[in-house]
Amino acid sequence: MSTEKTDVVIVGVGAAGGILAAELSKAGMKVVGLERGPRLKTEDFMAHDELRFFARQDLRPNIKRSPVTWRPNVNARAHPLQELDYGNEAGGGTVHYGSLSWRMHEDDFRVRTKTIERYGASAIPADSSLVDWPLSYAELEPFYDKAEYELGVSGKAGNLEGKKIEGGNIFEAPRKREYPLPPLIVDESGLLYEAGAKKLGLHPFPSPRAIISQPYHDRPGCTYCGFCQAFGCHVAAKSSILVTKLPEADATGNFKLITGAMCYRVNSDDSGKVTGVSYYGPDRSDNTIEADLVIVSPFIYDNTRLMLLSRTAKFPNGLANSSGHLGKHIMAHMMAGVFVTFDDRYVNNFMGPSAQKHTVDDYNADNFDHSGLGFIRGAQLSIGTPNLEGGPISATTIAPPPGTPRWGAAYRDFIARAYARHGAMVAQTENLPYADQTIDLDPDVRDAWGLPAPRVTYDWRRPNERARVDFVQKKLVEIGQAMGGVEVWPAPVSPAGAPGAHHEGGTRMGSDPKDSVVNKYGQTWDHHNLFLVGSSTYPTMGAGFNPTLTIEALAYMTADAIVNRYRKNPGQLL
């Protein structure tokens, strides 16, 4: 057993924690980072081993050691999820993600107000806990800019200070300057998608990604190897926290990273202050770090779980839970897929960076009129790879058209015909928050450290969500037909009600301690020296956009507030 003392301890050094580690240690604060997984190197990703990274998912939490359970409602028995998409190593999910790097739209920060203004209060489902964010796009814009330039994001501006630019996303919020790097090369799937979407009067553009299209900050540009999402990058062209911010933190001499460290409690005293954390080391030793400031920034399940595990006689419902909102308002993007095949075009969509390669934003957020549609909000519509992951095995996970079985000679013939000649499109839908979508502690399932597993209670099959998925899937079918596909068909969407991707919420931010867990800086209302930073704080999903760039921008904003204000008056409410 060991005890050490530091200024700041950070639990989880991924998209949020890695940025905070670098920024605070550069400002002279002594920082200790705790990471459950290992710290890997770029050389570790040289082997493009699909069995290891795609099938076995070695860069993600092991579902037996770190189970997360799910049930559709409180009356159902929870079962372990069979795939966990987030990261389990230093750098977190940014090591293996598809690197999509979106700024949220202006109206994404004011969804409740804007919806009522345009459609009336009755457009919001009565049981939804839809709210505005406690900050505006304008407040976050400088930190989006900082994240794009410090990390390295490739893309094409579509709205430069209000001037709309064709070829970029004309629906994006105004930005002060271009992306630091030009877009990645558009592949055959993107060219076909672009032509089809334009025929329908839509506005396609290359998706912005934290993958450098050219040499940048001493790293080489992307080689278009194809083993991208689910893999680490073998040349460090993916702008992960592992190759960007952690080396910056190392260089200060103020940062120490402890890997294989399972944090099981945030310690607190009766005054309301937190005093540090306790963790199990790789050798099962039981250790304590005393710190003036505690930042908790793992994936959302573990943010809520750690608060619940840290309950005391003084805080019997868990830390940061005086509002009773801890663990509530969970959201997920539902992935509504549509496939298209060609007789005469080789698409070879297993090549190049995977995930969502080319996008239309016309049916996202409130970028279109929802009057009479029976739902609010929308989806990012894009083309990429089946499963959105990289490599040739992943490319065979295409769901066959109705009438074709998933086995035997007919399936073999389908794969032989369609493998190199299909496009895989996906609508990434923005689901609404509901208070009864929750994370709590599973009473029956424990992890490898003997701690209760996080239990997710979630069912996406609500009227608003179903209507949205039906609508955007039909729009993708129209695009597939406009692309000239010989067959176009939708894939089934989680028929049992399981959550999709990018789970968010659980420690929502707000401007009132009575109905939120943290303020806009991630500072908990109940313990002013405890911060929760990451997508667990999102009050709404931020459109159908992937969450990572907003996590990173929020982390920069929190770091700025801590360095320039909190540090001068520790314990103050920011």
Please give the C-alpha separations between residue 199 and each of 193, 461, 470, in angstroms, as whole numbers.
10, 32, 22
As beta bridge partners, residue 268 has: 274
HEC profile for 431-458?
CCCECCCEEEEEEEEECCCCCEEEEEEC
Interaction mask 519-538, ligand SF4, x per CB under 6 A: --------------------
C-beta closer to ligand SF4: residue 90 or 532 = 90
Taking each helix axis from N to C end, the angle separating 548-564 and 137-147, rounded to the nearest 10 degrees, works out to 100
Closest approach of ligand SF4 to the CB of residue 324, in Å = 43
Say how many C-beta atoms besides its own lie within 10 A of residue 149's C-beta: 15
- Contacts of residue 333, defined as CB under 8 A and 6 or more positions apart, other chains included, come to 428, 429, 430, 431, 500, 501, 502, 541, 544
Token duo for residue 435? 């208070």
| Site pattern 203..232 for ligand SF4 (x: CB under 6 A) | --------x----------xxxx-xx--x-
Closer by beta carbon to ligand SF4, 227 or else 531? 227
CB 504 within 8 A of CB 512: no
Using CB under 6 A, which of 32, 147, 181, 233 touches ligand SF4?
233
By beta-carbon proximity to ligand SF4, the closer residue of 40 and 235 is 235
Using alpha carbons, select from 80, 88, 84, 34 the residue that is nearest to residue 453.
80
Q: In angstroms, what is the minimal distance from the CB of 225 to ligand SF4?
A: 3
Interface residue with ligand SF4 among 237, 249, 432, 482 (CB under 6 A) is 237
Residue 31 parent element (H or E): strand 31-35
* For ligand SF4, the closer CB: 206 or 485: 206
Q: How far apart are CA 488 and CA 494, in angstroms?
A: 19
What are the tokens at 266? Answer: 């945030």
What six digits make up the tokens of 503?
A: 């789970």
Size of the site for ligand SF4 (CB under 6 A): 14
Contact 368, 544 (CB under 8 A): no
Q: What would the two tokens of residue 159 be? A: 């709205």
Restricting to residues 352-381, which ones interact with ligand SF4 according to CB under 6 A?
Answer: 352-353
- Shortest Å distance, C-beta 552 to ligand SF4: 17
Q: Which is nearer to ligand SF4, 180 or 352 (CB)?
A: 352
Residues between 336 and 355 with contacts to ligand SF4, criterion CB under 6 A: 352-353
Tokens of 268: 């607190």
Which of residues 85 and 504 has its CB atom nearest to ligand SF4 in the complex? 85
DSSP symbol at 150: I
Minimum distance from residue 97 beta carbon to ligand SF4 (Å): 10
Query: Which CB, 67 or 226, lies closer to ligand SF4?
Result: 226
User: Which one, 70 or 102, has the nearer CB to ligand SF4?
Assistant: 102
By C-beta, is 42 or 404 nearer to ligand SF4? Answer: 42
Query: What is the smallest separation between the CB atom of 165 and ligand SF4, expressed in angstroms?
Result: 25
CB of 88 to ligand SF4, least distance (A): 18
Q: Which of 203, 238, 502, 503 binds ligand SF4 (CB under 6 A)?
A: 238
Among 116, 170, 200, 235, binds ligand SF4 (CB under 6 A): 235
* Residue 223: CB atoms within 10 Å: 11
Which residues here bind ligand SF4, judged by CB under 6 A? 211, 222-225, 227-228, 231, 233, 235, 237-238, 352-353
